[in-house]
Chain A
């Protein structure tokens, strides 16, 4: 509801007061004027009466009525009034407007009664004689100290009114002018009060819109100025607080955005209060679309949904492992707890997600490795044990078989030796790489490659496989020659193992920019894409049965990987099933200055 405007309140009140007062004044002035006029007329009449007193009395005494009438007529004409002469008995002796003989006794007339008592009398009434309102002034005629008669004049009220009207008009006009003038002045004053208030109001609206840097003008009355000052202080204070809040909010956001862990806050209803970028990425949702919606709508993950339910209803924090849908197979470790605000009221739940895929993967590798090692070592030992027991049991009686068994036992022991030897080598390389105790020297690559090819020549010959070596003589790099030789030997060995008889194995080395690339290519059976990521894991075999048959320890590629890592290089495999595989080793030619 809108209240009355201050402007009108002030202005109208002033105006009304002024108008009432001027009207009152005007009316009073008119009344005074009227009285004044009457009094003057009365004084005039008394003078005339006084002056004609002696003559009229004389005429009355003589009884010369015609002369009296003539005399009255003269006087009446002089003062332009109707004049009447009345005896103390009330009988009208002369009248300038009517025949006195037809007039009735005037003793009862109020003004006459007063005049007979010796004072001037006045009365206003309707006159049947003349037919309008008349005012009568009666004055006593004195003769020898007593009242001899009454002289009465009368004039129509109308004439008085007409005369007064002019006065009224002038008073009214002046009054109106005064009101208008005063009104204008009061309007100005009212405006002067409300204008600074209007400015304050507009300033306050700008504050409300957020423009807290705006300052109100400090002008006008002292009270207004004080008010403006207080409002300015308030705006400055608010501005500062808002800045602090925004800054803190930004800091929080920055923290949440940069976190690797996913953070998801939900309200008791199940709607997402907030989620950070990491969480959105882990769950495969769009962060902007998800905020504010029910968690069931944005994230359709059965495990997570039931976890959220649990977190919201449990008084203790809860933890669970979840498998994440979304790109690839990922594992998430979820922790959920209740969310409390500043007053310890529960306002929802908080879920924190950790991506444990890598950790799980490593754990799996470790488990597999332990299992594999146990298995790899156990198999030859079981075999040895069996044959030794047999030998003991038979007491070496059957020489043929005893020799055969001992041969088998030796083979198995060699196998054990090879496995353990490889494990030790692997461990050494790993440790050396970690502790950076492996020395690298600038040496010719051609030498190393030739040595490796030599090592494998026998095996290649046995399978009629050709080893082709291509390497520029001057190619050098910072390498550890024995280790690199071992690595290349392993690769050539694999190539020979998995190639069919009569195939060729190509070994090439070349320089590519800052790197040296050694390539070992075979035309063997190839490796399926699904195995490629895990190829360099310890004991990882594509085809378990076949690999053991070919005499491998399962550690060859793992050793290559660690040797290449010690050289700060990279190793990768390209393969097509049925056509062959190529292993690329990239080494930096020079050791980089900053290690």
Chain B
């Protein structure tokens, strides 16, 4: 086990975790901006997305360098492959955060309208799924990762509910169509965040156990 390779892998782990922290922060800020109609905060989320993109590219380049220089095998190879995949998912989640922030700016203009959907509940579930999937990575806990995969259907259900409610509101209060559509978009983004969190969890399982569990949970 080459010392250089070990150091590379550790640096890579740190970079990935920094990216995780950044993305989680972005999401938190975006949802906060939405719920408190804080346009300035949403702007900051938009600006910070370039940093997310830069870090994603950094991580990818580090991975490729490690693969080329050290040609690792077995668990090290699995680690690098998993990092490459999780990296992509994290960047996509970052994009979701940007989308939510944009909608937050839209909704901030309608400070008198209450949010009628249970976005807070959905957000909590998605956020917990993301946090747990990264915890599973950090603590190498395959069982936790499995549980994350199982929670995805719950979020999907919530989104369907919200969509139904949105349809009703579009009919009953059409003057606020801008707000309803923005909030519906947020719900869609939250559902996709949950999907990406599930992907990350599946990558973690692959990393730990070496088996690919995708598409096993089709309902």
Contact = CB atoms under 8 A, between A and B. Distances in A.
Interface of A: 269-270, 294, 296-298, 300-303, 305-306, 325
Interface in B90-143: 131, 134, 138
A301 B21 CA distance: 5
18 contacts: A269-B10, A270-B14, A294-B13, A296-B13, A296-B14, A296-B17, A296-B18, A296-B21, A297-B138, A300-B21, A300-B131, A301-B21, A301-B25, A302-B18, A302-B21, A302-B24, A303-B25, A305-B17
Nearest to B52: A302
Nearest to B20: A300
Contacts of A300: 17, 20-21, 24, 131, 134
Given A269-B10, A294-B10, A302 B17 contact: no
Nearest to A304: B21
Contact of B22 (A294, A298, A302): A302
A301 B134 CA distance: 13
B76 interface: no
B150 to A, nearest CB: 23
B28 interface: yes
A320 to B, nearest CB: 15
B28 A325 contact: yes
Nearest to B135: A300
B120 to A, nearest CB: 14
A305 B25 CA distance: 12
Contacts of B17: 294, 296-297, 300, 305
Given A294-B13, A294-B14, A305 B138 contact: no
A306 B51 CA distance: 12
Contacts of A270: 14
Given A297-B138, A300-B134, A325-B28, A305 B13 contact: no
B100 to A, nearest CB: 17
Contacts of B18: 296, 302, 305-306
Contacts of A306: 18
A544 B129 CA distance: 40
A147 to B, nearest CB: 104
A297 B21 CA distance: 10
Nearest to B18: A305
Contacts of A305: 17-18, 21
Contacts of B20: 300
Nearest to A289: B139
Nearest to A306: B18
A300 B137 CA distance: 12
Nearest to A303: B25
Contacts of A325: 25, 28
A300 B19 CA distance: 9
Contacts of B28: 325
Nearest to B25: A302
Contacts of A294: 10, 13-14, 17
Contacts of A301: 21, 25
Given A296-B14, A298-B138, A300-B24, 8 more contacts: A294-B10, A294-B13, A294-B14, A296-B17, A300-B21, A300-B131, A301-B21, A305-B18
A325 B20 CA distance: 14
A269 B24 CA distance: 23
Interface string B1-23: 00000000010011001101110
Contacts of B10: 269, 294
Contacts of A303: 25
B10 to A, nearest CB: 7
Contacts of B14: 270, 294, 296
A302 B17 CA distance: 9
Contacts of B134: 300
Contacts of B138: 297-298
A294 B10 CA distance: 9
A302 B13 CA distance: 15
B132 to A, nearest CB: 12
A296 B25 CA distance: 14
Nearest to A269: B10
Q: Which 10 A-B pairs have the closest CB atoms?
A: A296-B17, A302-B21, A302-B25, A300-B21, A302-B22, A297-B138, A296-B14, A305-B18, A305-B21, A301-B21
A474 to B, nearest CB: 50
B22 to A, nearest CB: 4
Contacts of B24: 300, 302
Of listed A270, A302, A305, residue having the most chain B CB within 10 A = A302
Of listed A294, A296, A301, residue having the most chain B CB within 10 A = A296
A124 B14 CA distance: 101
Contacts of A298: 138
A294 B13 CA distance: 9
Nearest to B7: A269
A309 to B, nearest CB: 8
A297 B18 CA distance: 9
Nearest to A325: B28
B155 to A, nearest CB: 21
Contacts of B13: 294, 296-297
A300 B138 CA distance: 10
